[in-house]
Amino acid sequence: MNRSAYDRILLKVSGEVLAGDQSFGIEPQFLHSMADQIAEVAKAGVQIAIVIGAGNIFRGMAVAASGANRVTGDVMGMLGTVINSLALGDAIEQKGLRVKVYSNVPMPTVADTFTARDANQALNDGSVVICAGGTGSPFFTTDTAASLKAIELHCDVLLKGTKVDGVYSADPKTNPDAKRFETITHEEVISRDLRVMDTAAFALARDNGLPILVYALDDPEGLMGVLSGKTRSTRVG
């Protein structure tokens, strides 16, 4: 039987994962595949907090590039994470689990406002916790929000799924000489500018001793494979 090496995890889900083959929106097939993987891990007794991006809906930087106000664009991006969080929360509930969606952008009729105290309690009570709204501030990303929430919620590890099975010295899809790291320090990821997540996310993780597992999203063993050590991943930290 698969067993997780971790008791409490923070899973970062990028918006693009929910879009699947499409560039925009939410594809039910991919939404439910992610929810199935989360449910398998939760049913094995792992406490799960989730931070979702909004690349499938809106990115503030993309708007700013066409001359619009960056702060407004970022707020729109944060609202996009709320849409994704509600969709994933509902899909996880359909798998028979309890879910609490918290928002870092206060919107009381939609979700409870995030506090670490309430979210911690919900995790202890066995709910899957989804933290919507990123950090609640513009000029950040949901990768940074993922580091922040993982630290606030005392998670053992942050899981970051990517297109490849770990951290490489260069893009392995375009550079055949790219070397894969089994383990690497936060400092080295930052100094080599390896860009698996943004620098703020890694710096926060480094300063607070938060390990990060980078794994391939398309691995057939899914999340449980990563947590049980069956699937290849790079451990940062």
77 binds ligand UDP (CB under 6 A): yes
Asked whether 209 and 202 are in contact (CB, 8 A), the reply is no
What amino acid is encoded at 108 in this protein?
P
Is 60 among the residues that bind ligand UDP (CB under 6 A)? yes
> Which CB sits closer to ligand UDP, 73 or 237?
73
Contact with ligand UDP (CB under 6 A) among 6, 30, 140, 202: 140
Quick one: 78 or 159, whose CB is closer to ligand UDP?
Answer: 78
225 binds ligand UDP (CB under 6 A): no
3-state helix, strand and coil shares in percent for the chain, rounded to the nearest 5: 40, 20, 40
Residue nearest to ligand UDP as judged by C-beta position: 53
Residue type, 91: A
Residue count at the site for ligand UDP (CB under 6 A)?
23
Instruction: Give the residue, chosen from 47, 53, 131, 147, that forms a contact with ligand UDP under the rule CB under 6 A.
Output: 53
User: Which residue number, 147 or 233, has a Cβ lying nearer to ligand UDP?
Assistant: 147
179-209: burial string, b at 16+ Cβ within 10 Å, e else? eebeebebeebeeeebebbeebbbebbbeee
Closest CA to 138 of 64, 216, 41, 235: 64
Binder of ligand UDP out of 54, 157, 184, 213 (CB under 6 A):
54
- In whole angstroms, how close is the CB of 10 to ligand UDP at the nearest point? 13
Q: How far is the CB of 82 from ligand UDP (least distance, A)?
A: 10
Q: What residues between 80 and 139 interact with ligand UDP by CB under 6 A? A: 80, 134-135, 137-138
Q: If binding is defined by CB under 6 A, does position 14 make contact with ligand UDP?
A: yes
Tell whether residue 59 is a contact of ligand UDP (CB under 6 A): yes
- H helix or E strand, kind and range, residue 212: strand 212-216
Site string for ligand UDP, 146-185 (x = CB under 6 A): ----------------------------------------
DSSP H helices in the chain: 15-19, 28-43, 60-65, 70-93, 116-124, 142-152, 186-191, 199-207, 222-228
Q: Contact between 141 and ligand UDP (CB under 6 A)?
A: yes
Among 19, 39, 74, 102, binds ligand UDP (CB under 6 A): 74
> 167-168 and 180-181: which strand pairing?
antiparallel
Distance CA 9, CA 150 (A): 7
In this structure, the dihedral spanned by the alpha carbons of residues 160, 154, 145 and 132, taken in order and rounded to 10 degrees, is 100
Applying CB under 6 A, the residues found at the interface with ligand UDP are 14-16, 53-55, 59-61, 73-74, 77-78, 80, 134-135, 137-138, 140-143, 145
